[in-house]
A and B are shown apart, each in its own frame.
Chain A
Amino acid sequence: MANQKSAYERLQLIRHKERPNLKDYVPLIFDEFYEMHGDRLYGDDRAILGGIGVFEGQTVTVIGHLKGKNINENKKTNFGMPHPEGYRKALRLMKQAEKFHRPVICFIDTSGAFCGIEAEQRGQGEAIAKNLLEMSDLKVPVVSIVMGEGGSGGALALGVCDEFAMLSNAICSVISPRGFASILWKDPTREEEAANMMRITAQDLYKLGVCDAIIEEADGAAHKNVEGTAENIKRYLEDTLAKLETKSIDDLLRERYEKYRAIGMFEEM
């Protein structure tokens, strides 16, 4: 059974060299798609793919992390780890969607925002923070789906939404299992142990109330059946967009705020 895989086994599946990336899914999910480039401030970050697409006859904005499948592709996409201009491109396209009243669909697949000198110089923290702030109040429906890795703030910067779904083998974590092991136990080789205790699978996040829906990967792993997995994503999006479109913008934004407001556990004495 797919549900009995350990977090570490799922981690291996989403790192599989044939794991489909966003470029594989876009033509299977959308009838038409035009890519749009650049943040209009600094440059175009290929770690983020964004544009305008048509989903079941409806115009939508599509934004997601893009991982390469080989060294040449990864040179361009930086292994799906965006710089600030990637997040700012995403935000530009979201604000464009808001202006033209079309839903935003985000696909999350990153080990995290890039950690480097230039990323810091151009305000990686500010870029992510700004996305969180603006997405919390974006006046159109926003759906986010974690396709593989949902690593930390770099993932969340495309993940403040009305409905948060995950593919069945996807993980989402505050820090990579390797980073977790190296910081808390000073031993990065304990990655497997960390992965299995961090509660990072779609099933864990569903139980914790962070993930709203799990989309099954066809044949137990997306690389075994991309078409089937894309079909499942389409069905999910169809249902979810239809549900969100019935809500007024005021209700949508109130519910979005309350959804994040409610995440957290503490006691008051």
Chain B
Amino acid sequence: MNMLKDLLKNVKDKFYDDGQEIKISELKSQVDIPDDLWLKCPKCNATLVRDDVEKENMVCTKCGYHFRISAKERIDMIADTNTFIEYDKEMHSVNPIGFDGYEQKLRKQKSISGLNEAVVTGECTINSYPCAIGAMDSKFLMGSMGSVVGEKIARLFERAIEKRLPVIIFTASGGARMQEGIISLMQMAKTSAAVKKHSEAGLLYIAVPTDPTTGGVTASFASLGDIIISEPKTLIGFAGRRVIEGTIKQKLPEEFQSAEFLLEHGFVDMIVHRKAMKNVLAKLLRYHSEKEV
């Protein structure tokens, strides 16, 4: 942070001799600093140097807020270098109930996120322990679960059964994909049935609900891990906050539906800082490993 202050001061000295307060946005327009150099923490509002935050695995250097990250960033943080092999990359959504405008929406989401769908699945090693891995991405239609998400998750568990692999899934989802109507609801049954099959094969499943995990994903595979781990302050819930506030006609406390709240009520095993996540997962894989690595 001092670095940022120094930098700002220098720039300020250079461009603002009258010493008036400057905002980063103005600064950027003045000196043409690339957008990706700075980050604003949505929790504490601090302006942060992106490099510093990246070194902390996208955790705010001021307040410890865990930024929402993409599926790709997540897998890069967890998988050993060059070990990730992606499954079903070219699976694309169609429009099962003929919902007006869904195809256009999907096209737009693909170009915004650089992803084909809201979950990336595959296999990798974590500190040399092999596992099947999935990471959802809230940038793609709020990580909502339609046919493709359901199918990729079900196949992930089925392949893991064949290869006798544990499964780790980082969830991030607003719930079922409404544009796919009843078909999206049924993905909850499909994914839960696949979890059961994998479990019956005696294999480990670690669910890692990340910010935000809600609705139909909470009410299916995100809540079904043998072990459930989350990150600090993660939003995890079934019903949306506004829906509940609307029903009870009062404001909810901030910690409601946080990972800490779920741990308190017995629905999360542990809360792990993002920097420690990889090592904790590797340890858990080791405790359940069928062979020496």
Binding site for B on A (CB under 8 A): 113, 115-117, 119-126, 128-130, 132-134, 136-137, 152-153, 156-157, 159-160, 172-175, 180, 183-184, 197-200, 204-205, 208, 210, 256-257, 260-261, 263-269
Contact = CB atoms under 8 A, between A and B. Distances in A.
Given A124-B219, A137-B196, A210 B182 contact: yes
Contact of B238 (A128, A134, A159, A267): A128
Contact of B193 (A136, A183, A198): A136
9 contacts: A113-B239, A123-B223, A156-B186, A160-B189, A210-B182, A261-B190, A264-B146, A264-B148, A264-B186
Given A123-B266, A260-B189, A268 B91 contact: yes
A116 B248 contact: yes
Contacts of A266: 91-94, 147-148, 151
B290 interface: no
A132 B188 contact: yes
Contacts of B267: 123, 126
B15 interface: no
Contact of A184 (B151, B178, B192, B265): B178
B193 A137 contact: yes
B183 interface: yes
A124 B216 CA distance: 11
A29 to B, nearest CB: 25
A116 B179 CA distance: 25
B185 A152 contact: yes
B238 A115 contact: yes
Contact of A133 (B91, B148, B193, B216): B193
B100 interface: yes
B150 A122 contact: no
A253 to B, nearest CB: 10
Given A124-B239, A174-B182, A266-B151, A197 B100 contact: yes
Contacts of B100: 197
